[in-house]
């Protein structure tokens, strides 16, 4: 356990080199909300939980009172998810939702530890065709995901628990900066 904590701390320390990218993500999100846009989040497994967590922080509140901010996790509507997976296919589960809901003024925020999940990559291709802003959170290499992103945060690890731990820290930093802007 001590070794795992030490490795966690190394990954956190490595992330300090990406603070400017996180600040830019927050600033772009603020501009999105001020321009009437929404943030749509997505991911699989633990990254799906993180996508829901981000949307909840924005719609609800993180630490301060402020107006609710429009964010939707594309991982939560089980009827839509299962209908698309059954009728169209699992690789299109997020892309179809992106094409249905996302506009040019919105942000699509994708999380994928490997950066290679076919349904995440398909969603980003759909988002790119729409012309919206794309944020990505991934592991060390970013896989194919980073090629689609306007801004990408890469946790310096390849194993899901260390990557997802760093993603949590990073998106809390982004949500905090957004919330400070809109705080009452």
Looking up residue 21, the CATH number of its domain turns out to be 3.40.50.10490
Is residue 74 within 8 Å of 92, Cβ to Cβ? no
Q: Give how far the C-alpha of residue 4 lies from the chain's centroid of Cα atoms, to the nearest Å.
A: 25
Residue 184 is predicted with a pLDDT of: 78
What is the SS3 assignment for 75? coil
pLDDT for 56-82, tens place per residue? 999 999 999 999 999 999 999 999 999
Range of the domain at 35: 2-182
Segment holding 110, helix H or strand E: strand 107-112
- Report CA torsion sign: 121, 127, 130, 131: negative
pLDDT for 90-105, tens place per residue? 999 999 999 999 999 9
Say how far apart CA 54 and CA 61 lie, in whole Å. 10
Model confidence pTM above 0.85: yes
**In whole numbers, what is the pLDDT of the chain averaged over residues?**
96
82 C-beta neighbours (distance < 10 Å), count: 11
How many folded domains does the chain comprise? 1
């Amino acid at each position: 356990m001590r070794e795992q904590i030490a490795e966690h701390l190394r990954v956190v320390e490595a992330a300090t080199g990406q603070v400017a990218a996180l600040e830019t993500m927050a600033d772009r999100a603020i501009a999105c909300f001020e321009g009437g846009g929404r943030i749509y989040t997505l991911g699989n497994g633990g990254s799906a939980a993180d996508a829901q967590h981000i949307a909840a922080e924005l719609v609800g509140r993180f630490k301060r009172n402020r107006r609710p901010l429009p964010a939707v996790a594309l991982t939560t509507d089980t009827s839509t998810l299962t209908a698309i997976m059954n009728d169209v296919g699992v690789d299109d589960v997020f892309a179809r939702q992106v094409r249905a809901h996302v506009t040019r003024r919105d942000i699509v925020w994708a999380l994928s530890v490997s950066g290679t999940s076919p349904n995440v990559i398909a969603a980003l291709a759909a988002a790119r065709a729409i012309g919206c802003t794309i944020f990505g959170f991934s592991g060390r290499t970013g896989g194919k995901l980073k090629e689609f992103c306007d801004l990408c945060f890469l946790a310096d690890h390849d194993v899901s628990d260390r990557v997802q731990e760093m993603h949590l820290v990073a998106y809390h930093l982004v949500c905090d900066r957004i919330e400070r802007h809109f705080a009452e």
